[in-house]
Amino acid sequence: MRIRPDVSTAFLLAGWLVAAASPSLLEAAPPDPSRGSGGMAGASPGRAGTPAGEKGAKGRADVVLHGGPVYTVDAVRSWAEAVAIKGDKIVYVGGSKGATAWIGPKTKVVDLGGRMLLPAFQDAHIHPISGGTSYSASCALYDFTTKEQYTKKVAEYAAAHRDSAWIRGDGWLLPAFAPTGIPDKRLLDAVVPNRPVYLESKDGHSAWVNSKALEVAGVARDTPDPPGGRIDRDPKTGEAVGGLQDSAMSLVAEKIPPYTVEERRNGLRYALKMLARYGITSFQDASVGQEELDVYRALDAAGELTARVVASLWWERKEGLEQIPGFLAQRRTYTRGNVRATTIKIMQDGVLEAQTAALLKPYVGKGEQKGLAMVEPDLLKQAVTALDKEGFQVHFHAIGDAAIRQCLDAVEAARRANGARDARHHMAHIQLFEPSDIPRFRTLGVVANFQPLWAFADEYITELTIPFLDADRQRWIYPIGSLLKSGAVVAFGSDWSVSTANPLEELEVAVTRMGPNGETKTPYLPDERIDLRDALAAFTLDAAYVNHQDDRTGSIEVGKLADLIVLDRNLFAIPPGQISDTKVLLTVFGGTPIFGDWSLAAPAASAAPAAGR
């Protein structure tokens, strides 16, 4: 289907689809509010609500949205023309004509003007508190690329935070210090001479520190490199030059005072604001401990938590099954309001780029190295079986084909022991597959939780992944299309602050397998592209599924919560390369706008945290 990307075409298309998909909807008799109850009885059962049982204005909607394509993401992916909201719920979905009966004297009527209405997005794997805290309580360098920009930012930050004992931050890139990638303490000494500075690289494997930080940490010429780490030194004098690699980072990092409770709360506030701007009203936090639970609880109690949150409690790898009673207590205590502490996060391997992802066959050119399984596979089976028995959902981190297989084996063991239950265990990242494991996601009911932004041929893939894999295995990287074809449920998440939290950028990559900002010009593994309908479902209804809330969120249907977004254009009426240019104009959480307002005027552009990858 070739469609020109103008609004009128978009609107015509939507109208045509409404008519084609569910003609009964348009033909349904409009409700007659004068008849009171039963005004629309018998019309389109389950699709269009009715002011049944209520009289007069009491039965009218608070808000009616009409005049634009409504993509419902219901089971048959139908389109509609109008939606009515009463309180926090959707009370009507259908044609414009039928919506008029919901309009009373106090109803706010919003003309979409051809703009698109969708269920709000849900993120199935994200780190809002740590990400938000590093943006709001530290010197974020993610948006810059040169050492001049970094030092300028550090100087500004230090001037604006005169009473911070430490200057800490993240997000610098190694290529800024080409060709060695080793940073220089003197650049920081020039702008912050008297306070310690600690800046982590974007990949988290290096730190850039100033002389004061080295002094505070007692790092001197005779300090040995710690196991698994390196202090970068002047080859002539042996003096530390300001770069710390891997475990050497903690020589300084452990001296930094931890973030305060208020800093963490502000971090979550920062993240919630950003998520609202991106149209996200539900998410699964991929790593939560006691402190994060308290932060969620505090903001929810204060009415500030503008999202439905599933918290994944962190499985401590140094411990075993004895930590389960603690999880049970946390689930009991913290599952209330908009928070559910119902998931356990198990990290099963590392990452391919650092050759720490667990593989079935060795990395090419690395001898016998196959990465590392973090939880011993037999213990993993016991743990998943025990957690499954207690009714927990397990959220795995698995990247290599061996880790994916070990997690599937563990779910299989749990099923054998406990029987099939509605567990919705899910595996995040899932980068490299042994193809015979693909059908097991469907058979075992494991949700494939991809971060689609990573599925294009950037340098992480071309330089740091492909060269270390045999040719026959290179085909099975982020096989999103194959998982969908196998019948597995596919859900999407961002892994922010590792990558952008903007679902529209991620959606574009899922559909095109190309960089969302023109980084690449050819699709990477084009057979694994998916269509826009499936990609949208992975960020709405199927992410709601993994969050165990598809019965009340994730689609626009009568009786569901009014978690909705309005986009500035119809995604189905534009070339896929424009998906990432699309803007969210309005985000509604339980019937209340949390970004933009009912006027649909484009909200003032504010600097969005970029966080590339």
CA proximity to 185, closest of 239, 256, 255, 246: 239
- Using CB under 5 A, pick the residue from 123, 285, 495, 528 that binds Zn ion: 495
- CA-based nearest residue to 124, from 613, 495, 505, 425: 495
Site string for Zn ion, 174-213 (x = CB under 5 A): ----------------------------------------
- Pick the stretch among 1-9, 416-424, 493-501, 533-541 that binds Zn ion (CB under 5 A): 493-501
Q: What is the CA radius of gyration of the chain?
A: 26
Q: Which residues on neighbouring strands pair with residue 310, listed in sequence order? A: 284, 340
User: Among the candidate windows 206-214, 301-309, 411-419, 489-497, which touches Zn ion by CB under 5 A?
Assistant: 489-497
With CB under 5 A as the contact rule, which of the stretches 34-42, 281-289, 334-342, 382-390 interacts with Zn ion?
Answer: 281-289
Binding range to Zn ion, per CB under 5 A, among 52-60, 320-328, 488-496, 583-591: 488-496
Shortest approach of Zn ion to residue 14 CB, angstroms? Answer: 36
Taking the complex as a whole, how short is the minimal distance between the CB of residue 286 and Zn ion, in angstroms? 4
Q: With respect to Zn ion, which residue has the nearer C-beta, 112 or 430?
A: 430
Stretch that binds Zn ion, among 263-271, 314-322, 495-503, 604-612 (CB under 5 A): 495-503
What is the distance between the alpha carbons of residues 467 and 327, in angstroms, rounded to a whole number?
A: 41
Tokens of 418: 């406990």
Q: How many residues does the chain have?
A: 613
By beta-carbon proximity to Zn ion, the closer residue of 505 and 563 is 505
Minimum Å distance from CB 495 to Zn ion?
A: 4
Closer CB to Zn ion, residue 130 or residue 266? 130
Nearer to Zn ion, 312 or 512 (CB): 312
User: Any bridge partners for residue 309, and if so which?
Assistant: 283, 339
* Identity of the residue, 63 or 293, whose beta carbon is nearer to Zn ion in the bound complex: 293
Q: Is residue 123 within the footprint of Zn ion (CB under 5 A)?
A: no
The Cα–Cα gap between 176 and 183 comes to: 8
Question: Which of the ranges 78-86, 160-168, 326-334, 490-498 carries the binding residues for Zn ion, by CB under 5 A?
Answer: 490-498
Residue 286 or 561 having the CB closest to Zn ion: 286
DSSP 120-178: PEEEEEE-HHHHHHHHHSSEE-TT--SHHHHHHHHHHHHHH-TT-S-EEEEEE-GGGGT
Angle between helices 261-277 and 290-301 (to 10 degrees): 70
Of 92 and 454, which CB lies nearer to Zn ion in the complex structure? 454
Q: Based on CB atoms, which residue is closest to Zn ion, 251 or 286?
A: 286
* Closer by beta carbon to Zn ion, 533 or else 613: 613
Nearer residue to Zn ion within complex by CB, 73 or 501 = 501
Least distance from C-beta 531 to Zn ion, angstroms?
27
Nearest CA to 361 out of 434, 437, 439, 431 is that of 434
Cβ(281)–Cβ(306) below 8 Å: yes
Q: 167 has which bridge partners?
A: 197
Question: Could you count the other beta carbons within 10 Å of the beta carbon of residue 195?
Answer: 16
Q: How far is the CB of 126 from Zn ion (least distance, A)?
A: 7
Minimum separation from the CB atom of position 498 to Zn ion (A): 6
CB 575 → Zn ion: shortest distance, Å? 31
What's phi and psi for 189, nearest 5 deg?
-55, -35
Are 14 and 69 contacting, i.e. CB atoms less than 8 angstroms apart? yes
* Stretch near Zn ion under the rule CB under 5 A, chosen from 32-40, 451-459, 479-487, 492-500: 492-500
Give residues 2-41 in contact with Zn ion (rule: CB under 5 A). Answer: none
Count of residues binding Zn ion (CB under 5 A)? 2
Separation between Cα atoms, residue 235 and residue 246, nearest integer Å: 20
Stretch that binds Zn ion, among 39-47, 130-138, 373-381, 494-502 (CB under 5 A): 494-502
Supply the minimum distance, in Å, between the C-beta of residue 125 and Zn ion.
6
CB 542 within 8 A of CB 484: no
Q: Answer yes or no: are the C-beta atoms of 9 and 3 closer than 8 Å.
A: yes
Q: In angstroms, what is the minimal distance from the CB of 469 to Zn ion?
A: 22
Shortest distance in whole angstroms from residue 61 CB to Zn ion? 39
Query: Quick one: 286 or 558, whose CB is closer to Zn ion?
Result: 286
102 or 496: whose CB is closer to Zn ion? 496
Q: How many other C-beta atoms lie within 10 A of the C-beta of residue 411?
A: 26
Mark 283-302 with x for binding to Zn ion (rule: CB under 5 A) and - for no binding: ---x----------------
CA dihedral over 246, 250, 251, 256, signed as positive or negative: positive
- Residue (248 or 286) nearer to Zn ion, CB: 286
Distances (CA, A) of 403 to 358, 371, 395: 5, 10, 13
Strands (E), 141-288: 167-172, 197-201, 206-209, 229-233, 240-246, 280-288
DSSP-derived 3-state class of residue 227: coil
| Cβ nearer to Zn ion, comparing 192 with 398 | 398
Q: What is the strand order of the sheet 229-233 is part of?
A: 139-140, 167-172, 197-201, 206-209, 240-246, 229-233
- Residue entry with tokens 């001479």: 193
Binding site for Zn ion (CB under 5 A): 286, 495
